[in-house]
Amino acid sequence: MANSGGENGDLKYARIGSIGRHGLPKIQTHHETKEVCHDDTATPVKAKTMDELHSLQKKRSSQPSTPHTATGQQGSAFNAISEEDRQKQQLQSISASLASLTRETGPKVVRGDPARKTDGQKAVHVEHHLYDSALFGLSDSALKFTHILYNLSPAELYEQAIKYEKGSFITASGALATLSGAKTGRSPRDKRVVKDEETETELWWGKGSPNIEMDEHTFLVNRERAVDYLNSLDKVFVNDQFLNWDPEHRIKVRIVSARAYHSLFMHNMCIRPTPEELEEFGTPDFTIYNAGQFPCNRYTHYMTSSTSIDLNLARREMVILGTQYAGEMKKGLFSVMHYLMPKRRILSLHSGCNMGKDGDVALFFGLSGTGKTTLSTDHNRYLIGDDEHCWSDNGVSNIEGGCYAKCIDLSKDKEPDIWNAIKFGTVLENIVFDEHTRDVDYSEKSVTENTRAAYPIEYIPNAKIPCVGPHPKNVILLACDAFGVLPPVSKLSLAQTMYHFISGYTALVAGTEDGIKEPQATFSACFGAAFIMMHPTKYAAMLAEKMKKHGATGWLVNTGWSAGRYGTGNRIKLAYTRKIIDAIHSGTLLNATYTKTEVFGLEIPTEIEGVPSEILDPINTWSDKKAYKETLLKLGGLFKKNFEVFVNHKIGKDNKLTEEILAAGPNF
């Protein structure tokens, strides 16, 4: 065989005379100039152990953040210092947050997962001198290390949840399925607010108020209980994040929790800082201690169950005991914003908000079932936010960095944006899934009807980032009137806007004992009574002031029944409601011809493109005019009865505004 090798230097064939088995030439394994016939792996790894090899798998990265262009805080406690010193100061700040108020130091804290051995980590703690340590002595928590899992990424939190938290699974879409334990919703009767000299006069107390008082001492008892529980754990999760997309008025919040589920939930719901902002974070403005897996002591004063959610506005702290439902953190912070923002002359709002391509902003208020989410989600407009907002001199801004959507009976056809947002990084609460395929059954209510998805707002394709906008042009109050007597749309005066904003009306359908279903009026002040801190008239007056200053128009839109009450009439078609909303956005409805209704004195248009004119005045759709008037008077009476709790609250020195609001209600 004459050939001594392949053209590409493959293998060297033996020369003639070097014959192997079956008469084939022998193949030599030594190489010529081109090394091809050899082990083609790269240079051997430098690691000497498997642990070292695993450490090479990961490189350092910046912290996950919300994609935004807001500028960072001016000044910094961490400027011009080394990375080691910066991390030390960060840990000292966390140790101070976790410090007992009756012992000598904060806990010894160290970054990282205790399950992973890392050499060279140094524990950090802080000393405080509120009490003489000689009187109390050392505690066990002062002798142990508490590992801090700080601002972990979603991928890291997935690992923690799946490995250590029973009931955590990855669904077919990539979302993390979790369980919130025995509580699958908020516990408003277990929420307490510290009543002190300042809050006694500033907050709304008494009949109709969501604020249930507790004293400072009881709060400190519960705080100590929560801190002791968290310090007893091998590891705790710490999130440092922001509230409010307006950089001038944002709030720094720290969430200390025991579950990866809670950490990922707040990672999604709050605004995620950039690495630079995290370096400059410093001391938080507000801290949550979530020890929800541990109950409160029912023998403690003011406690009525093993659950307690406690707010101390003077200390800027919130304590959670006895409930693992993550929504308590979200809504607890919303209550805090309802206190802090009005003190800065900023209006906090429980509303949806979107913006047209020409910059026109609309606010949507409405209770559950009114269509707030559906109508504020418009593919022709940008979504600023779906739930919590601020209205300042700079315009509107979303408070949150994510969305918390209901999942019951969710379908891709009805809510494509929410459906598509349920992917890797999303938290799915209390849903049911196929044990093999992990496909979620959104119609299943085995755990609860209150199934939820928490995801970053950038998961919505038309979300406006940063989530800020100019001053609103329209303020839309939504009501699902099952009595069938409110018009599909009404233009409101400022006084009427305040009246209906304070009322926060909708009507639900409830079954009676004999099986007959009838409407049931529901009122929630400012469309979010469970979260407001001050008297509703305070927020209403601020709303009217801002609407007047910036030329916004108020609208009352009924998404409920027409041609009769529930059971006899028909639900107003969504297509008609969308046409009405489109006419509001475009401004054409301002130029319509209006007539005034009886009792409520609402101005209703006589014509809207794409909407049958006969349904615009409810009396035209009722065949029984007598029944219509009786139902109208009944609903007017319910409004008046609900408003009695607000009548005696004076607004301003001359009380003229109070009188104007009362005059804007039903007139018999």
For the annotated catalytic residues, the residue numbers are 186, 331, 350, 368, 372-373, 387, 452
Tokens read off for 255: 């969430």
DSSP character for 252? E
Contact 400, 270 (CB under 8 A): yes
d(CA 378, CA 360): 13
Helices (H), 444-560: 494-503, 536-550
Give the three-class secondary structure for 51: helix
Closest CA to 264 of 174, 334, 178, 344: 178
CA angle in degrees (0–180, nearest 5) for 279-284-288: 125
530: number of Cβ within 10 Å = 14
d(CA 494, CA 419): 38
Residue 247 φ then ψ, to 5° = -60, -25
Q: Which H or E element spans position 603?
A: strand 603-605
d(CA 528, CA 546): 19
d(CA 353, CA 588): 20
Dump the DSSP string for 69-105: -PPPPSS-SSTT--HHHHHHHHHHHHHHHT--SSSSB
Q: Which residue has the tokens 């879409």?
A: 173
Closest CA to 401 of 280, 214, 245, 540: 245
DSSP character for 431? -
For 67-102, give one letter per residue: b (16+ CB within 10 A) or e.
ebebeeeeebebeeeeeeebbebbbebbbbbbbbee
> Given its phi and psi angles, is residue 623 left (phi above 0), alpha (psi -120 to 50 degrees) or beta?
alpha
Q: Which residues pair with 474 in a beta bridge?
A: 362, 553
